[in-house]
Structure 1
Amino acid sequence: MAVEPLLATRAQRAFILTITLQAIIVLTMVGITFRKVEVKVAFVGDYKTLPCYLALFALAEVFELLMAFDALRLRNIIQLLGILLFHMALIVFAAIQIHETKSALLNKVDCVTDFNPINCDGPGTLWRAVQPFLIVVPCIIAAAWFVMMFWIKELYSEFGWAIFHVVGANPKMKRMYQWYQIMLCLLKFDFFFFVGVTMQLLIIVLARNTAEFGVTVAAIPVVLVLLALCGVAVQREIKWIMTISLVMMLAASSYFLYKLVRIYEPASRSAYATTRASLTIFTIVAFILLFGTFAVGLRCFADFDRGLQASKVNHGGSSYTPVLTKLELFGGNNGTQQEEGSYYGGTQLQPRISIE
């Protein structure tokens, strides 16, 4: 079976095109919202929700597009399914942002006695001007999600046999390799949700002159290095790095639990008023993903030194190369010899595919 190059099939091109088009439309809607608010108010206090909203969506759309290319390059069905779940989370986040933007704009002024078009609701107000663009965003993302499901079904048929060519037909090896793929996929999503949580904290919540702001900034490179080293450790089966990474994951999980408490405890809950819903969701998902990564990491650790390392290291999206068939090894005519009554019914034998 021939292996198609990246973006050589209709399903691959359509999948990437779907994500790209919805990203352009969504970022345009968010950008228009940002601009309409920018000309009316300064982005201080509660209004900082809007630039954070734009930054998160820009990060999410770029991240999803890169993940899609990566999944197609690696022919990774598990990562494609992860992208579907991530896209569903984007729908929820976009819907929540309608409420949070409204809370930021309609900031408890007395509109009966002191009506103004910036902080009140009604015809001609700022909220009514941006509301349609905010509503369009989750609708577009949801429509793209259904289209993506169709093309992922096509890609499943196209890529579903790839693991066989990496590890062979051994069920144990296949299961180990699938856990390895899940681990790498989780590490990539850990990156996004950690950056999403810290971005909201730094832009909206934390004051620059506080110790918590400094700790949060310092944690960013530490966690990113941790995730990168964990990916190297699980691929190269380096036990001491994997051990350190797993311990650090537990510490990072504890940090997310601490932040969740801070969002709702009476002494600090007012600082999270305009971003409580989205930050809560991001924090909970980040905690679940990180704890899940720890659990899957333990499973992958148990598979170290069991014969899978060569397949992990040598597997790449463009490294499919044909190898000699048995007929070629024993002097056949370049795999084209035909045999009467053979299993192939006298048809031409094709080179087998391997991943070296």
Structure 2
Amino acid sequence: MAISEGFKKMPLASQLCCWIATLQAVTIIGLEIGILVYVLKNVENVFNTWSSDKGVAIYFLLLVIAAIFGVFLLVGGVMNGDTIQIIGYCAFSLFGMSLAIFRYYQVRSWLLSDFYDNVFQDIQGPMLASIGVMAGMTVFFGVMAYFLYNTFGWEIYKRVGADMKIRRMYINYRLFVLLLKIDFFVFVGFAVSYIILILKSSDPEFAITIALVPVTLLVLLLAFWSLRRESVMTMWVFIVLLCASTAYFVYKCARMYDPKQEAKFAKQRPMMTYYTIVSLVVISATLHQAVTCLANFGYGLKERVEITRGKRSDMEQIQDYYVNAAGDRRMNLDG
């Protein structure tokens, strides 16, 4: 009920974005289900052997999850007045579109090399339609993000005031939270792809890779807790673990091109290389933001965020906003 009431109170442009994002996700999911079902019916040995090309299933899974995750980002950003998350949704849409384009060329190469020309001709239309929907919606939401930015600009001002230093710290804070959400999608997507495409259940890495999913979630929750509490020690722990994950992805990427691993990666190398590069880019951005937010600890942002979340009393709020270090009442614009 509260969510429904909050939705009705949103500006018309915000409601329109939520409905269109949901419609986009439903359309993409419908197209992807149709593609997968058709391929499974008309192509042999998609899942029967370890060496078969199971990439189409992974593309389907990633695009479906990306569509759902995108709606989560946009609706959450709109309902919370989080401009950073809305802009992040536009960037995430670009990733989904690039994945759909990559999928098109990979599936075409796979089907044509295995003499399934007729199957490719039949699914070519839905694959191109999926790319077209993503491209059109990316442009649309890019334009809408501009209007939403103006709509929520006043909300950001009310939350953190006019102090430009606090505003910059708050933007870095929200950007780091956004990257933590995207990190989980990227890490889980890589783990699932690696398990299905590369590993056998008898491989020592199989159990380790599965265990990485809950471990990743715990590490990201640790980072979020550290950010909210401004805990220097635990944030440093997260930064060290993030550096370790960077080394892990670099190792995985190098291993793909090891001649001894040719049998495992022969068909899956392009897909896994692409996803590894995307993962490294996201990890690098997260590492940068983690260090930036760590440098901002102790400069008053925590108290401002607590005020916006209603965790501090009105008297504390008045003090923070209107009393300077000398004890004189001043407007925040005097900074």
1:261-308 Cα distance to aligned partner (Å, 9 max, x none): 122222224423433333222211211211221221111112112211
- TM superposition shift of 1:96: 0.8
SS of residue matched to 2:96: helix
* Partner residue of 1:155 out of 148, 151, 157: 148
Question: In the alignment, which residue of structure 1 is the partner of 2:12?
Answer: 10
In the alignment, structure 1 residue 120 sits paired with structure 2 residue 122: no
- TM superposition shift of 1:106: 3.4
Higher mean C-alpha displacement, 28-37 vs 72-81: 72-81
* Partner residue of 1:303 out of 282, 290, 296: 296
* Partner residue of 1:173 out of 155, 166, 169: 166
When the two structures are superposed, what TM-score results if normalisation uses the length of structure 2?
0.85
Q: Superposition pairs for residues 80-91 of structure 1, below 5 Å?
A: 80-91=86-97
Cα distance change of structure 1 residues 314 and 211 upon mapping to structure 2, 3 Å threshold:
farther
* Partner residue of 2:46 out of 43, 48, 51: 43
Question: In the alignment, which residue of structure 1 is the partner of 2:286?
Answer: 293
Q: Say whether the 8 Å CA contact 2:191–2:212 is kept in structure 1.
A: no
- Distance in 2 between the 1:290 and 1:47 partners? 28
Question: In the alignment, which residue of structure 2 is the partner of 1:330?
Answer: none
Question: In the alignment, which residue of structure 1 is the partner of 2:105?
Answer: 99
- TM superposition shift of 1:138: 0.6
Cα distance change of structure 1 residues 139 and 224 upon mapping to structure 2, 3 Å threshold:
same
When the two structures are superposed, what TM-score results if normalisation uses the length of structure 1?
0.80
Question: In the alignment, which residue of structure 1 is the partner of 2:81?
Answer: 75
- TM superposition shift of 1:42: 4.0
Question: In the alignment, which residue of structure 1 is the partner of 2:25?
Answer: 23
- Distance in 1 between the 2:84 and 2:122 partners? 41
Code of the residue aligned with 1:9 in structure 2: it is: P
Which structure is higher in helix share?
Answer: 2
- Distance in 2 between the 1:315 and 1:94 partners? 39
- TM superposition shift of 1:5: 4.0
- Distance in 2 between the 1:29 and 1:195 partners? 23
- Distance in 2 between the 1:42 and 1:168 partners? 61
Q: Superposition pairs for residues 264-343 of structure 1, below 5 Å?
A: 264-316=257-309
1:187-211 Cα distance to aligned partner (Å, 9 max, x none): 1111111111111111111111101
- Distance in 1 between the 2:130 and 2:299 partners? 47
Question: In the alignment, which residue of structure 2 is the partner of 1:134?
Answer: 127
Q: Say whether the 8 Å CA contact 1:236–1:312 is kept in structure 2.
A: no
Q: Say whether the 8 Å CA contact 2:63–2:99 is kept in structure 1.
A: no
- Distance in 1 between the 2:148 and 2:30 partners? 29
Q: Say whether the 8 Å CA contact 1:18–1:148 is kept in structure 2.
A: no
1:166-189 Cα distance to aligned partner (Å, 9 max, x none): 221111111111111111111111
Code of the residue aligned with 1:67 in structure 2: it is: L
- TM superposition shift of 1:238: 1.8
- Distance in 1 between the 2:264 and 2:276 partners? 16
Question: In the alignment, which residue of structure 1 is the partner of 2:177?
Answer: 184
Code of the residue aligned with 1:206 in structure 2: it is: L
Identity rate, percent: 27
Q: Say whether the 8 Å CA contact 2:172–2:292 is kept in structure 1.
A: yes
Cα distance change of structure 1 residues 312 and 270 upon mapping to structure 2, 3 Å threshold:
farther
- Distance in 2 between the 1:252 and 1:126 partners? 39
- Distance in 1 between the 2:37 and 2:246 partners? 37
SS of residue matched to 1:46: coil
Q: Which protein is bigger by CA-based radius of gyration?
A: 1
- TM superposition shift of 1:103: 3.1
